[in-house]
Chains A and B, each alone.
Chain A
Amino acid sequence: MTEYRIALRNSGLIDPNDIEDYIKNDGYSALAKVLKEYSADKVIEEITASGLRGRGGGGFPTGVKWKFAKSYNDEAKFVVCNADEGDPGAFMDRSILEGDPHSIIEAMAICGYAIESNQGLVYLRAEYPLAIKRLQNAIDDATELGLLGDNIFGTEFGFNIEIKIGAGAFVCGEETALIHSMEGMRGEPTLKPPFPAESGYWQKPTNVNNVETFANIAPIILKGAAWFSSIGTEKSKGTKVFALAGKVKNVGLVEVPMGTTLREVIFGVGGGIENDKEFKAAQTGGPSGGALSKDFLDTPIDYDNLIAAGSMMGSGGMIVMDEDDCMVGIAKFYLEFSVDESCGKCTPCRIGTKRLHEILEKITSGNGEIEDLERLKKLGQMVKETSLCGLGQTAPNPILSTINSFKDEYLAHIVDKRCPAHRCSDLVKYEINPDKCVGCTLCARACPVNAISGSPKKVHSINRDLCIGCGACDTACNFGAVFKN
């Protein structure tokens, strides 16, 4: 299986600062087509028939969302593009905005036409200055050519787009929090319903789609729903862009048809594991997702299979881990992210994620008790079930999925006080192999806590009680005598 570029069709191939270049590549012809040939309902029918689902992670059918937004009549309605790409390691939205900004403008205008809105807003994170610049430049150019503004292509339809710059909160990727942030309020989610389609930006009907979702719109209009739905699996159509990272030979963005297996992505496009080490797991869905073990390597990737596997599609982050990675540490890393990014509004997420993280801290520092596993599972499950928004509802996934697939690693930390991957510094103790030690004293001199004793030319030893596991001795030794245990 090879890559198949729909969302990334122009990225890297056209000049993002040149609207003519976009137009030469069929740019704005989808907008022209819908304005001249399609009714609003027909656009929605086409998108619905294509089977396109939200690429931000939720996987909600885009056509249904548009239909829902169209059904509410109001004096003002809004089309919002969610460009608050916050998953660590994911950067497909950035790539699209920087490489093909007009594709988003065109799609938002099509959406505006379909749901009967004249105003678009792009919520773009401040950490993407180049994306902001290029998108603004593209908006200006499109406006100058009359592709935005009043009477587009001589029709009654008018559409404008404004950029709203986010202040860097992961939770603002949640659509209600995003809307509150755009309004100048605290970026906190609110319960749905009411959905933004009914009461969104300033309580007006609002349709929120992610960048990658929008990037699929123009091709669907131009090539037809049937073409799009011929790609992918039964319930997940089209392609998905993954940000392949971690211990894989070829890192970067990968766009593959839905239904491609993990193995095909990691060992095909990705070229396999770095240094030909052994694959251990792939984290999909970022901090909201789960770690998929080698048991899932041949599972076709789509929305539903990933959820069934205890992970999720998320926005398409895919981080590959090998035998050197500690899965408890990985879970702790993601939890720390969720603790930091929790807005603090609801109890389970505010305190629950903190407590989950603390238990992982306890385990990785060698103080874990066997009951902690049950406590993690119970609390994790409750946080998932009772949190207010997607952040809390998915934050325990990294823990639950790793306990599920890598329970032995947890037990090693808890029972044996040992980190099998030698990554948890509190559990890593260094020892000196007496067969290799020549008594050069380099290690003793490098040790910052004077934990190494031994006279010159005699075998040295490390006092385990004093050792802090910093690894300075290992680095200092020229004879390979220091090893982790």
Chain B
Amino acid sequence: MKITLDGKILSIDKKMTILELCRDNNIEIPTLCHMDMFSREDAGKNASCRLCMVEVRGKLVPSCATDIFDGMEIITKNDHIFEARKMVLDLIVSDHPLDCMTCEVAGDCKLQDYCYDYDVKGTTYPGEENHFEIDFSNKFFYRELDKCILCKRCVNVCNEFQASEALTVANRGFESKIAVEYDRGMGDSAVCVNCGNCVSVCPVGALVPKSKVKFRAWETKKIPTTCSYCGVGCQMNLVVKGNTVVDVEPLNGAANKNLLCVKGKFGYKFIDHPDRLTTPLIRKNGKLEEASWDEAYELIASKYRDAMSEVGPSAFAGLASARCTNEDNYLFQKMVRAIFKTNSVDHCARLCHASTVSGLAATFGSGAMTNSIDEISETDVIFVTGSNTTETHPVIGSRIRQAVKKGAKLIVADPRRIGLFDNAAVGMQIKPGTNIALLNGLMHVIVENNLQDREFVAARTNGVEELYELLKSYTPERVAKICGIEADDIVKAALLFGKADKASVFYAMGVTQHATGTQGVMSIANLAMLTGNVGRSGTGVNPLRGQNNVQGACDLGGLPNTYPGYQKVIIPEVKSKFEKAWNVTGLSDKIGLTVTEITQEIYDKKIKFLYIMGENPMVSDPNLDHVEEAFNRLDFLVVQDIFLTETAALADVVLPATSFAEKEGTFTNTERRIQRVRKAVNAPGEAKADWTILSELMTKMGYETHYDSVDDIMDEIATVTPIYGGVSFKRLESESLAWPVKDFNHKGTKFLHEGEFARGKGEFKPAEYVEPKELPTEEYPMILTTGRILHHYHTRSMTGRVEGIDELYPESFIEIHPEDAAKLGIKEGEMVKVTSRRGAIETKTLITDRVALGLVFMPFHFAVGAANRLTSSTHLDPIAKIPELKVSAVRIEKI
């Protein structure tokens, strides 16, 4: 195309808008309503502020939504255009308070900037103004509609991208205003999920975060980093004034594309919370007292020497952290292996995706999300099972909803009527622990209708015949009975999935946290292979990892059976490779103990010395009464954390570490993407970065370490970890890399198993449905399932210290079906006693038909009324050793 832009002739070969063309040519065009998030095709949906007008053949057109065409002559600057833009600004300020002096966003306001550019001092068309009460009802931000310019960016981000559909325009014409349902306060909306994406996109001061610190944009600096909550790996800026994080802004990261959730956007206030640990603590006379770093190091080193000489390596175990950086975890496992000489290092991945690792390793050869998050947008059919995505991985939930809006079909299976049911073509409320039956049922229908990908199966897999044999008995009718759903829905879902060109599965702990977790994962792999949905863009088996760096902690050897990069500890060559690299002898060649086994061995007084970095098993692990008793039996417990958690409170030495905002490093998100974490503020008191603590301590314990900075650790990781072979801090400054990154020329891997599975041929692993270990009995007539809620994160050590979040969700609760509640004579909000074979707790009732009859649900976040006092640590998956956290038989009683 030949385009004339301000007299300059350009030759353009792709479709674009005038605005994009101008930006490519460094011509600045003012915009208020336009969002870069809009695709070129969708830009015209808005185009409402009319500020970006340019001239084409003498006519004013909005550049944001006008496509270029061959022969187009565009003028971006002349008096006519200037006057038109100025008029728009003049009209806007005629209904906008000119209180820039005290306005919260002065200096960060597009309207202010453009009024300056176009010399608009005030309106020349004074007239009626709209006035509204300021709405403070939301816990995290306030709404000042007097300042709203009705650009609708908030409405668009909420509806089209966040896909919550909470915001709309009410009234029309001059009386138009942004509103939530029934024109309630923002905080009273039943639809709004407090993600704050509307706040992030507001170009003026109409939606403003509630901040305790007053700041002007020019007083702040912005540090790009990775969110420290769930595994999505959202990219964001920490906005810092002095030494305080005062705001968070979303960035256009590969996974999050300018979105954040409530935790990422507003959950930063734990960083400078007064509860932060600032000095080492040592238990003296039963009480934790402040101590110096030297004292703490000396004590740990001497306890290490004692235990080593008295018992040997079997006395030690370590829990790495899904919250800490890759570099922290690498050093941690190095300490356990090279100094403690044991492989008994594990972390809470054991409790979430251990069965994913075992199930996918057996079928595909690699236990990670096969495809990237961005590929959701190209999938035709998305099957979500055992993942409450919109709450546990909110931004991925939004990406799924975006895809549905663009025409993708969604299938959801979950014991609860979770949020995604509203967007589903087929929603199946299955009984807990019946995933395998459902998956077999789906495959039965697919085979019966000849929808399997015969070519793929023949060329790339082994063992399909056995699967065919197994599937025969899983008729929709039988499966419907097992799962408690309609047979028609199974058929409908199977046909959708089977006929799709690109279908993908997303799952999480609803599949993995079962005694049959590994089989559940294998069944998903079977479904994907049967339909040829692996190894192509937009397809795949996608386990959603729960924590910010659970993927990295696994990748870097925080597992008892593998060194960094999943290199097996039992392979002699691997052992000698690490002995050489680490310059040590006598690394253990035995598989170490898992989290649940470690607890049991501590209970049995075999393990004496436990080192925990950034984990809180006293809330997160099953059967807490048992955990507590075990920890009390330890000779020596070291806990390294940022708060005095329930676990740290039991420790002999507590080491104050830094939060993600105070250190450098990398996190690996759920899609295997290695992303930078950057230091934005100084750590409180004497707190030190985890890697610094470990490095210093290792030297104290007699293993000299020499790391000048955290990049050195990544360089070491790259040399010993083939899947991270091409990763360096330098590359991460300009590239987004997902492993495997084989070498410094390799660009990383968007999706796995292209052409060939990691293990060569894919292996079908047919699995029979087996009932969960606990079924309702007369004594324990109800089934409890556990999980997470949107606003809280894991054991609440961070979110519990964010004011707004804690006000909204301060305490433990149990979801119960209205009919069950009526049968028990329980009212909404009433405290009840919940008892399982492990223990009993008291908690508040929330009556809702989200749960099925006979099912109750509790979030596990709370230490008081902790769900994990009820769960079992002995109903384990025999392969992955993951406990069946999702199914516990309980009894509920009125108090």
Contact = CB atoms under 8 A, between A and B. Distances in A.
B50 A387 contact: yes
Which of B45, B91, B171 has the most chain A CB within a 10 Å cutoff?
B91
Nearest to B42: A190
Contacts of A345: 48, 152, 169, 176
B787 interface: no
B17 to A, nearest CB: 11
Given A186-B169, A191-B62, A347 B88 contact: yes
A346 interface: yes
A344 B94 contact: no
Contact of B173 (A191, A193, A340, A379): A340
Contact of B94 (A346, A351, A386): A351
A191 B174 contact: no
A191 B40 CA distance: 13
Interface in A337-393: 339-348, 350-355, 358-359, 375, 378-379, 382, 385-388
A382 B87 contact: yes
Contacts of A344: 150, 169, 171-176
Contacts of A386: 50, 53, 60, 84, 87-88
Given A388-B47, A388-B48, A343 B173 contact: yes
A245 interface: no
A193 B48 contact: no
Nearest to B80: A385
A186 B53 CA distance: 25
Contacts of B171: 344
B465 interface: no
A351 B48 contact: no
A342 B174 CA distance: 8
A352 to B, nearest CB: 6
B65 interface: yes
Interface string A133-177: 000000000000000000000000000000000000100000000
B169 A382 contact: no
Interface stretch (B121-129, B347-355, B826-834): B121-129
A194 interface: yes
Nearest to A340: B173
A191 B307 CA distance: 75
A347 B114 CA distance: 15
Interface string B14-52: 000000000000000000000000000100110111110
Nearest to B64: A191
B138 interface: no
Contacts of A354: 127-128, 173-174
A194 B172 contact: no
Contacts of B48: 345-347, 388
B172 A169 contact: yes
A347 B152 CA distance: 11
Contacts of A385: 59-60, 84
A35 to B, nearest CB: 34
A388 B168 CA distance: 19
B83 interface: yes
Contacts of A169: 172
A379 B94 CA distance: 13
A358 B127 contact: yes
B71 to A, nearest CB: 16
Given A169-B172, A344-B172, A355 B91 contact: yes
Nearest to A180: B45
A348 B173 contact: no
B234 interface: no
B67 interface: yes
B128 A358 contact: yes
Interface in A368-420: 375, 378-379, 382, 385-388
Classify chain A: how many residues form its interface, as a range.
20 to 34
B92 interface: yes
A339 B47 contact: no
B555 interface: no
B172 A343 contact: yes
A342 B95 CA distance: 16
B128 A342 contact: no
A194 B173 contact: no
Interface in B174-221: 174-176
A220 B175 CA distance: 46
A350 B176 contact: yes
A191 B47 contact: yes
A70 to B, nearest CB: 22
Nearest to A176: B44
Contacts of A352: 87, 91
Interface in B67-95: 67, 83-84, 87-88, 91-92, 94-95
Contacts of B62: 191, 388
A344 B83 CA distance: 22
Contacts of A343: 172-173, 176
A355 B94 contact: yes
B58 to A, nearest CB: 10
Given A347-B50, A351-B174, A191 B44 contact: yes
Nearest to B88: A347
A261 B538 CA distance: 64
B802 to A, nearest CB: 35
Contact of A379 (B65, B67, B87): B87
Contacts of B168: 186
A406 to B, nearest CB: 23
Contacts of B91: 347-348, 351-352, 355
B50 A348 contact: yes
A193 B17 CA distance: 12
Contacts of B65: 191
Contacts of A355: 91, 94, 125, 127
Contacts of B125: 351, 355, 358-359, 375, 379
Nearest to B44: A191
Contacts of B152: 345
Interface string B237-260: 000000000000000000000000
B44 A193 contact: yes
Contacts of B150: 344, 347, 350
A193 B67 contact: yes
Contact of A350 (B51, B60, B66, B174): B174
Which of A193, A379, A386, A387 has the most chain B CB within a 10 Å cutoff?
A386
Nearest to A192: B44
A346 B60 CA distance: 14
Interface string B525-539: 000000000000000
Contacts of A387: 50
A191 to B, nearest CB: 4
A225 B681 CA distance: 78
Interface in A112-140: none
B869 to A, nearest CB: 48
Given A191-B44, A379-B125, A339 B84 contact: no
Contacts of B94: 351, 355
Contacts of B60: 385-386
Nearest to B151: A347
B92 A190 contact: no
Contacts of B169: 186, 344-345
A382 B83 contact: yes
Nearest to B45: A190
Nearest to B177: A344
B83 A342 contact: no
A479 B650 CA distance: 105
B92 A348 contact: no
A44 to B, nearest CB: 25
Nearest to A186: B169
Given A191-B47, A346-B49, A347-B48, 19 more contacts: A190-B45, A193-B67, A344-B150, A345-B48, A347-B50, A347-B88, A350-B173, A351-B95, A352-B91, A353-B173, A355-B125, A355-B127, A375-B124, A379-B87, A385-B84, A386-B50, A386-B53, A386-B87, A388-B48
7 contacts: A342-B174, A343-B173, A344-B174, A345-B169, A346-B47, A379-B125, A387-B50
The 3 closest A-B pairs by CB, nearest first: A344-B176, A191-B44, A342-B173
